[in-house]
Amino acid sequence: NKKGFIFDLDGVIVDTAKYHYLAWKELANELGFDITLEQNEQLKGVSRIRSLEIILGWGNVTLTEEEFMKYMAEKNDNYLSHIAQMDAGEILPDVPKILNYLQKKQQGIALGSASKNARKILQKVGLFNVFEGIVDGNDVSKAKPDPEVFLIAAQKLNITPKNCIVFEDSVAGVTAANTAEMISIGIGSEETLGHADFVFNDFTEIQTSFIEELIKR
Ligand code: B16
Ligand code: MG
User: Which tens digits make up the pLDDT trace of 106-126?
Assistant: 999 999 999 999 999 999 999
| Cα–ligand 1 centroid distance for 157 (angstroms) | 22
CA 44/CA 189 separation, integer angstroms? 14
Task: Give the burial string for 59-68 (b: 16+ CB within 10 Å, else e).
Answer: eeeeeeeeee
What does the alpha-carbon distance between residue 14 and residue 31 come to, in Å, rounded to a whole number? 29
128: left (phi over 0), alpha (psi -120 to 50) or beta: alpha
The bridge status of strand 164-168 relative to strand 4-7 is parallel
**Segment 179-207 mean pLDDT:** 98
pLDDT at residue number 148? 98
Give the residue from 179, 209, 79, 208 showing the smallest Cα distance to 197. 179
120/109 Cα distance (integer angstroms): 18
* Cα–Cα distance, 43 to 59 (Å, whole number): 14
| Segment 117-141 mean pLDDT | 97
Nearest C-alpha neighbor of 173 from the set 16, 41, 4, 31: 41
Atom of ligand 1 nearest to the CA of 144: 19
- Rounded to an integer, the average pLDDT of 23-41 is 96
Q: How confident is the model at residue 153 (pLDDT cuts 50, 70, 90)?
A: very high
Cis peptide before 147 (omega within 30 of 0): no
Catalytic residue positions, numbered: 8, 10
**Average pLDDT over all residues of the chain:** 97
- Which residues form ligand 1's pocket by a CB distance below 6 Å? 8-11, 17, 20, 43-48, 51, 76, 113-117, 137, 170
| DSSP code at position 119 | H
Residue nearest to atom 14 of ligand 1 (CA): 115
Closest CA to 31 of 75, 80, 91, 89: 75
Q: What is the pLDDT of residue 116?
A: 97
